[in-house]
Structure formats: C-alpha cells, structure tokens
Chains A and B, each alone.
Chain A
Amino acid sequence: GAGVSQSPSNKVTEKGKDVELRCDPISGHTALYWYRQRLGQGLEFLIYFQGNSAPDKSGLPSDRFSAERTGESVSTLTIQRTQQEDSAVYLCASSFLPGAPFEKLFFGSGTQLSVL
C-alpha cells in the first residue's frame, strides 16, 4: 500500500490478556517508530527500529511491552497481561531519512486499544 498500515484498527480486550498489534511500514522505509497516545494528549515514544541496528527500547514502560521487526518490514508490538492503564491509541510511523534534519515521519491511523 501507499501508506503505513496498522491492524487491527480497534481492539477490545480483558484485563490480563495478551494483545498483538501490527504495523506495515511504507516499502523502503528503514526506520520504524511506535508511539502511544492517551486521549487528547501528545505522543509517548515507545520503541525505534533502524535497519539491522539494535532497537532503541528506552521508551517501553514496562517489561510487559515488547516489539519485534523483521528486517525492514512488518513490526509487531506485544503487550502481555494487559492493564486498564494500557488503554490508548498505539501509533506506528516509518521514515526513510532517519537522523536527517528533514526526516519526515509517516504515521498510520493507529490501533485503539481498550482494556476492560
């Protein structure tokens, strides 16, 4: 596709269950970011992948959160034993000029996660 694709668009789960969120970046984009956005607020950095380099996991809020990326393609964000405070929109972004002054992030539409 032409843009960043995220699935599912909405996910409702019960407290304690595991969830997996998927991101398909734009083809050729070497950098991939995950962000979390609580209702009406700014974006909270979670994790960054760039090519074959070790990911920057400094934003992951707890060890219940993990993410993987296969090469320069699909990424999955996994949240284990979900808690109500995990409810938020999870946004994925990709870019092809990581580190350049005019790097542009292309965002997906996000996954709205609701933990009951």
Chain B
Amino acid sequence: TQLLEQSPQFLSIQEGENLTVYCNSSSVFSSLQWYRQEPGEGPVLLVTVVTGGEVKKLKRLTFQFGDARKDSSLHITAAQPGDTGLYLCAGGTNTGNQFYFGTGTSLTVIP
C-alpha cells in the first residue's frame, strides 16, 4: 500500500493568514494531484504536478512537487473563508489504475 500522510490533519486560522499543508510518502509517484472537497460534495481537482521540483501557482495557491516525487506541499496566501474545506493529495502511478489518496487536511478559515 502506498500511503500518503498529510499534515496537519486539522487547521483553523483567521482570514488573511498564510498556511501550508504537507503531503508525504515513502513511495515515488508519477504525478501528484491536489483536490478540495466541500461538505456533501465530491472532491474537485485543483492541480496536477508531474515533474520533480515543479511549482505551480493558481492565484493565492502555490503547489510544489518534491524533487524525489515523494512529497508535495500546498501553500495558501491570505486565506479566505471560501478556502474552507477538506484538502486531499493523491498520488498517481504509471499503471494509471489507481490514485492513492492522502489522509486529508480539514481547513477552516474564520472570518
């Protein structure tokens, strides 16, 4: 089993603060995705990274794939209440028949 551990598990911050969520594994992945899930809904893809060391920015969100393709981070600048949700990382393999999802980080941004 290729486990992806996320930290922290829970995060509650004030609007305007910055935060970083980590996704770590001992396994190498061909791709790493980040999803956000709101209550009562399925996860929605935010980004895919495929190259070791790759950094992608989407507005206030910055995603990084580790050089060894075993870990990733998600940094949010100036968090807003709309960022509240469960953030999930998912590692993809070359076989393509399974995405290994992380344990999840529940983020609450307080207005």
Contacts and interface: CB of A to CB of B under 8 A. Distances in A.
Give the interface centre of B6, B31, B99, B104 by most chain A CB atoms within 10 Å: B99
Contact of B43 (A50, A59, A100, A107): A107
Interface of B: 4, 6, 30-31, 40-45, 48, 50, 86, 88, 90, 92, 94-104, 106
A40 B86 contact: yes
A48 B98 contact: yes
A104 B45 contact: yes
Contact of A50 (B30, B86, B94, B97): B97
A25 interface: no
B92 A101 contact: yes
A105 B31 contact: no
Interface of A: 4, 33, 35, 40-45, 48, 50, 56, 58-59, 91, 93, 98-105, 107-110
A102 B42 contact: no
28 contacts: A4-B42, A40-B104, A40-B106, A41-B103, A42-B6, A42-B88, A42-B103, A43-B43, A43-B90, A45-B98, A50-B97, A56-B97, A58-B98, A98-B96, A98-B97, A99-B97, A101-B31, A101-B50, A101-B92, A102-B31, A102-B50, A103-B31, A103-B92, A105-B43, A105-B45, A108-B42, A109-B40, A109-B42
Nearest to A58: B98
A102 B45 CA distance: 11
Contact of A107 (B42, B92, B94, B104): B42
Nearest to B6: A42
